[in-house]
Structure 1
Amino acid sequence: MKFAALAIAAVLMLAPALPAFAQQDKPDTWLHASSAIGEPKYPDGFTHFDYVNVDAPKGGVVRMGALGGFDTFNPILPKGEAAAGLGLIYQTLMTPSQDEVLTDYGLLAEALKFPADYSSVTFRMNPKAKWNDGEPVTVADVIWSFNTSKELSPQISQYYANVTGVTETAPGEVTFTFDQTGNRELPKILGQLMILPQHWWEGTDAKGNKRNIGASTLEPPLGSGPYELASFEAGKTISYKRVENYWGKDNPTQVGQNNFDEYRIEFFLDQTVEFEAFKGDQFDWWVEPSARGWATAYDFPAVKDGRIIKELFAQTYNGSGVMWAFVPNLRDPKFQDIRVREALNYAFDFEELQKTLFFNQYQRIDSYFFGLPFSSSGLPEGKELEILNSVKDKIPASVFTTPYTNPVSGDAQKLRANLRTALGLLTEAGYHLDGNRLVDASGAQLSFEILLDSTTIEPVVSNLTTNLGQIGINANIRIVDGPQYINRVRSFDYDMIYEAWPQSFSPGNEQRYFWGSASAKEEGSQNYAGIADPGVDALIDKVIYAADRDTLEAATKALDRVLLANHYVVPSYTLRTSRVARWDRFSHPDPLPEFGIGFPTFWWYDDAKAAKVGGGQ
């Protein structure tokens, strides 16, 4: 449900006694927090989150690594590569806790309310909220940020498509109105709106030039957050420094957090070089992307003598699910035949990779909501079956008769059988073998390119291309740098990519952005596959306008089942823990919260540990 990097995440089933949409019983009541599931944990007037150390020392430097670069500090433009870390500068109306599922507390806004029919939401601004130049954060800033973001960013416009207007309805109060009723997610996701300073963006820079929110810029921006941009070298490094007079330091959502004096990000164009830089103590925190790397790449002195700690964190994934997949672009006619798409899955030998590359660390994904209680299984029944029957004429008949399963390989005999099945599907689709080439009626070979942004996944993709080659398909790998990859994906300039869709415990409006017909042609959307299907659209609406939690779960399972039945992607695999290596200079609250590691937000620089490790500044 998060916009922007929608964070991804051990299976956490909902407790049976948890109230469903509990806050619907409090229409037009000012609420200090918003929860998509049940009641907020923390009451009005709470002083801090339970998982923070309120006495955490302030000071020190934390250094992060990032792959790629940046060319703008403008956070809302759909073009260009915005700098990492801008979330340290800019804030939202509400902010989440990390020991609850989908619960947000007031930040720039101190409270919200909405009517019983969810036709609008009103936020009451926090009178203490200020920009870092001392100016107050106002309703005008909210209205301007919303309208400007929708105007400039197709992504944001799609995400907030049901919001028809925003006005100041009382001093310090801003109301968003909706074009439909019953959408319980809209009040929550509007709390995630990033607020920008209108007076700064409409002002002039140090040279007297008028700023332009519609243009890229490398002028250090003004924010309301706990950090400000101190220095940078374009595309290479950024340093953020802690704001001493940060307005929110005593806000209960911020106490015990933002403990580092400096937050530095180092950028790299190559992942191998980046890892070598981590080994060389050029930055502090490394999330290992490779199973082989985790098993074999840490035989060096800093690990052996304990200066670097390896640790697995399940918290990252406790509150979310994911679909990682090979994604064919349905905007290309060759992938519009469902039989061609289904055939591709028979060529992916996950079981062989599990033995040879993955060190048995991964699970095969078989749902668009893998890791959440919305994954479909078996045959539909009950409320899910009712929902599917309501759109029966728009969805594949197989959803009622055939549960989705991934093909299983793992040895030569099983792979041969799967490739024969794939070849049968391709023959039905009009292809035939001409020697060692699979060709269509005109003699053109079935060929496509798989676009990647790093070499990390290349051995896995090679498994697929090698097996496809055995049935005459010419599939090639193309690796490009980060900026080129981003631009090509945004403009849908690819045959196939390897991508992910994160999911939350509250599926809703973002499903339109992932699979809805309107987003299929919207450049920059996450509808990577180009899905434009009336059955899928109808089921997305069933999810968004679900009247209660049981209906939401049933509708989401129905959506999952139909997406799987259409074979839009070749599901890949996932790891439900984060593999983290870190230089041992930091401490954290114990225990960590259930739904997040929180590094570096509520960790702190430990002088005693740092003295033993040395270096690091």
Structure 2
Amino acid sequence: MRRLSRRAIRSTAFAVALGLAGQTGFAEPRHGIAMYGDPALPPDFVSLPYANPDAPKGGQIVTAEVGSFDSLNPFIRKGSTPWQLRFFLGESFMGRSLDEPFSLYGVLAESVETGPNREWVEFTLRQGAEFSDGSPVTIEDVMWSYETLGTVGHPRYLGFWAKVASMEQTGERSVRFTFTEEDRELALLAGLRPILKKAQWDGVDFAESTTEVVPITSAPYVIADYDPGRFVSLRRNPDYWGADVPFRVGTNNLDEVRLEFFGDETAAFEAFKVGEVNSNREFNVARWESQYNFPAVQDGDVVLSILPHERPSGMTGFVMNTRRDQFADWRVRDAMIHAFNFEFINEAMTGSAQPRITSYWSNSPLGMSHGPAEGRVAEFLAPFAADLTPDALEGYALPVSDGSERNRAGTAAALAQMEAAGWTVQNGVMANAAGTPFTFEILLPQGSSENQAIIDMYTESLARIGVTPTVAVVDSAQFAERTDAFDFDMTYYRRGVSLSPGNEQYVYYGSEAADTPGGSNLMGVKSPAVDAMIGRLLTSESQDDFVAAVKALDRTLTAGRYVIPIYQWNISRLAHAKELRFPEEIPIFGDWPGWQPDVWWYAE
């Protein structure tokens, strides 16, 4: 397998795709669009560079999912839906290449056109585009989908719609969106909204649908069968209209994608070992090194693949809800981070094989530096100096323990910060001046034995500073309901970020999103500096300013001490049946939605 070096990835991703081509827009129909400059692939490209146009069709992939589901509509807030469905069912005007930071190519759209400054974008619908029931995709369907998703859909769609000044049909197969503000990413986001069949939802409450309605879409797969909480079977549509669209050539090769659901990770792994599941993504390096020697691996029936990438680490760990009194004070959050004995936990969980996440964009050229802010980063943050958490400008880094179980230095630092915030140990219990004990609840989703093991070690460390939290383990539906309502003190948190961050950052960290139920701003951050840095990265006209804005955002969030980071995955570990194959060309995003199962195939 050919592997891209980090140097090659970095030069490809940033010197070419992020490098500005000296243009701000174009006023003629094009086959694709990039955040900056031109997309890498020419108008006559045959297939994506990491797809195999000669891949055979057939076979199946079966994955194990932990938890349950009670909805098949991934486009609304209500219910718990298999996370993969929005990628399988959400056919849109354009599709995203995983080999460029942010470039889109036509799928439902045969062309895209923008104003000189991307103040508007226009898409022309491809002739012959059809829904899975054989009916044509129309501009009426398009406009209904955008308005419905933007008003009663999942919160991820609301922010974009709020910035649309007008939507108008400009031809039999074309529609134009005009925007309310300067934001060059909006033209790309407009191309990524799912297009649904309007007639299916006549007389049906779209926002309240569960498993009684299976969405009809124009995507390559359809939901063929399901049993709530047990499995979902997606079948390749043999009459899929877009098989010859270049973006789709060599993709969607498997006849069936099946999602099997299990109560916990142990049951899911056992199902893989006995062949009920034929592909498994492993996040625990200790388990990868010690438990993947079962007979199917020894016999060669299961292949172990290690795949590189240079995606930012994102943030994985345990988020503190600043809406709660316990975590409103940054010094308390800092104490919680000092009490978390990462080096000891990492040794116990991974044999110290996994590096720690050091910031939201660590492992990438967009990650913050750990010394004092300099240059454009310092200039961008200077107006907000009075509001920034200490060390944001001076330089912040996570504490490092000596690896021993007692973590004396970390414990002492935690006690000092709690005292500074008005909490002291009284008769063995951390309490305030009124004698009220400091305690909180840690909310975890059922089935995650790894997270529960980490939290077990963490609660032992907290006991050393007189803090005894409660741990609540709930099923996936309850977990989604409570996190959507921000009904937690501390909970497991995973937020992926990209090489081309954009408007989604407002959803993740923007002040307005902090009070939007169902939103992604779980920590409840309301920071003028965060809002301003997101605004800057969206309006930057040079690569240098864009990178500086992201670094400044990364610095502000990390120094805010909202999340207790754990370890990152700079490679992906996939175990799969030998019949499941993938191309030698690995995109810069590596194992990411759009790669497995999209470009995989099955060969006896």
TM-score (norm 2): 0.92
The CA deviation at 1:489 is: 0.8
Candidates 590, 599, 615, aligned match of 2:596: 599
Distance 2:86 2:552 in 1: 37
1:446 CA displacement: 0.8
1:335 paired residue number: 327
| Deviation (angstroms), 1:14 | 4.9
| 1:408 and 1:414 in contact (8 A); partners too | no
> Could you tell me how far 1:413 is from its partner in structure 2?
9.4
Change (3 A) 1:240 1:396: closer
Distance 1:440 1:393 in 2: 27
Q: Which residue of 2 aligns with 1:198?
A: 198
Q: 1:147-546, aligned counterparts within 5 Å?
A: 147-153=147-153, 154-181=155-182, 183-202=183-202, 210-217=203-210, 218-315=212-309, 318-377=310-369, 378-396=371-389, 398-400=391-393, 402-412=394-404, 415-453=407-445, 454-546=448-540
User: Helix, strand or coil for the counterpart of 1:24?
Assistant: coil
The residue type equivalent to 1:601 in the other structure is D
> How big is each residue's C-alpha offset from its partner over 1:51-82, in whole Å with a ceiling of 9 and x where there is no partner?
32222221222222222222222232201022
Distance 1:458 1:542, change over 3 A: same
Q: Match for 1:73: what amino acid?
A: L
Contact 1:449 1:476 survives alignment (8 Å):
yes
Question: Aligned runs of 1:122-141 on 2, under 5 Å?
Answer: 122-141=122-141
Tell me the distance in 2 between the aligned counterparts of 1:192 and 1:27. Answer: 19
Residues 534, 101 of structure 1: alpha-carbon distance in 2 compared, 3 angstrom cutoff: closer
Deviation per CA, 1:561-587: give whole Å up to 9, x if none: 122222222222212111211122222
Which secondary structure does the structure 2 equivalent of 1:313 belong to? strand
Distance across 1 between alignment mates of 2:273 and 2:575? 10
Question: Higher mean Cα deviation, 388-397 or 87-96?
Answer: 388-397
The 8 Å contact of residues 101 and 319 in structure 1, kept in 2 or not, is answered as no
Which AA in structure 2 matches 1:398? D
Q: 1:142 to 1:320 in 2, by over 3 A?
A: farther
Matched, 1:117 2:117: yes
Using the alignment, how far apart are the partners of 2:601 and 2:559 within structure 1? 48
User: Residue type of the partner of 2:468?
Assistant: N
Letter matched to residue 406 of structure 1: L
Cα 1:125–1:320 change in 2 (3 A) is farther
Inter-partner Cα distance in structure 2 for 1:459 and 1:68:
18
Q: 1:241 Cα deviation (Å)?
A: 1.8
2 CA distance for matches of 1:341 and 1:243?
A: 50
CA contact (8 A) 1:30 1:113 kept: yes
SS of the residue 1:295 aligns to = helix
- Aligned-partner residue type, residue 157 of structure 2: I
The match for 2:51 is 52
Deviations, residues 475-523 of structure 1 (Å, cap 9, x unaligned): 2322222111111111111110121211111122111111111111111
- Please state how far the C-alpha of 1:21 moved relative to its aligned partner: 4.1
> Against the structure 1 CA distance between its residues 75 and 538, is the aligned structure 2 distance closer, same or farther, given a 3 Å change threshold?
same
**Runs of 5+ in structure 2 lacking a partner?**
1-5
What is aligned with 1:31? 30
Distance 1:411 1:197 in 2: 56
Given that 1:159 and 1:510 are in contact with CA atoms closer than 8 Å, whether structure 2 keeps it comes out as: no
Q: 1:430 to 1:313 in 2, by over 3 A?
A: same
Aligned length: 587
How far the C-alpha of 1:229 sits from its partner, in A, is 1.9
Residue of structure 1 in register with 2:3 after alignment: none
Distance 1:519 1:221 in 2: 28
Q: Distance in 2 between matches of 1:353 and 1:221?
A: 43
Matches for 1:577-592 after TM superposition, within 5 Å: 577-592=571-586
Q: Which residue of 2 aligns with 1:206?
A: none
What does the per-residue CA deviation read over 1:214-250, in whole Å, with 9 as the maximum and x for residues that have no partner?
3214233321111222222222122222211211011
In 1, distance between residues paired with 2:259 and 2:580?
17
Q: How far apart are the structure 1 equivalents of 2:589 and 2:466?
A: 46
Q: Is the 8 A contact 2:344 2:405 kept in 1?
A: no
Question: Which AA in structure 2 matches 1:330?
Answer: T
The answer on whether the counterparts of 2:330 and 2:389 sit within 8 Å (CA) in structure 1 is no
Q: Which letter does structure 1 place at the counterpart of 2:63?
A: M
Separation of aligned partners in 2, 1:227 and 1:350: 42
1:146 aligns with 2:141: no
Counterpart of 1:35 in structure 2: which amino acid? Answer: A
Match of 2:93 in 1: 93
Q: Whole-Å Cα distance in 2 between the matches of residues 390 and 593 of structure 1? A: 39
Structure 1's 586 and 28: CA in aligned 2 closer, same or farther, altered over 3 A?
same
| 1:412 to 1:270, Cα distance in 2 relative to 1, 3 A | closer
Query: Whole-Å Cα distance in 1 between the matches of residues 473 and 232 of structure 2?
Result: 26
Instruction: Provide the C-alpha distance between the structure 2 equivalents of 1:112 and 1:23, rounded to a whole number of angstroms.
Output: 19
1:553 aligns with 2:552: no
- How far, CA to CA, are the matches of 2:298 and 2:208 in structure 1? 49
Question: What whole-Å deviation, never above 9, does each CA across 1:164-213 have from its counterpart, x for those lacking one?
Answer: 332212332211121112x11111112111111112222xxxxxxx4332
Query: What letter corresponds to residue 40 of structure 1 in structure 2?
Result: P
Give the match's secondary structure for 1:346: helix
Counterparts of 1:150 and 1:385, CA distance in 2:
36
SS at match of 1:13: helix
Tell me the C-alpha RMSD between the 2 structures: 2.1
User: Do the aligned partners of 1:21 and 1:36 also contact (CA within 8 Å) in 2?
Assistant: no
Structure 1 portions without partners, runs of 5+? 1-9, 203-209, 608-617
User: How far 1:159 sits from its partner (Å)?
Assistant: 4.6
Kindly provide the amino acid, as one letter, of the partner of residue 569 in structure 2. L
Contact 2:322 2:523 in 1 (8 A): yes
Q: 1:320 to 1:565 in 2, by over 3 A?
A: closer
**Per-residue deviation, 1:271:** 1.5
SS at match of 2:95: strand
Could you give the per-residue CA deviations for residues 76-114 of structure 1, whole angstroms, max 9, x where no partner exists? Answer: 220102244353333011112233332110001122122
Q: What is the aligned partner in structure 1 of residue 77 from structure 2? A: 78
Indicate conservation of the 8 Å contact 1:517/1:533, yes or no.
yes
Change (3 A) 1:23 1:142: farther
Residues 365, 86 of structure 1: CA spacing in aligned structure 2 closer, same or farther, 3 A cutoff? closer
Letter in 2 for 1:421: A
Letter paired with 1:429:
A
Secondary structure of the equivalent of 2:508? helix
3-state DSSP class of the match of 2:573? strand
Relative to structure 1, the CA distance from residue 467 to residue 162 in structure 2 (aligned partners, 3 Å threshold; closer, same or farther) is same
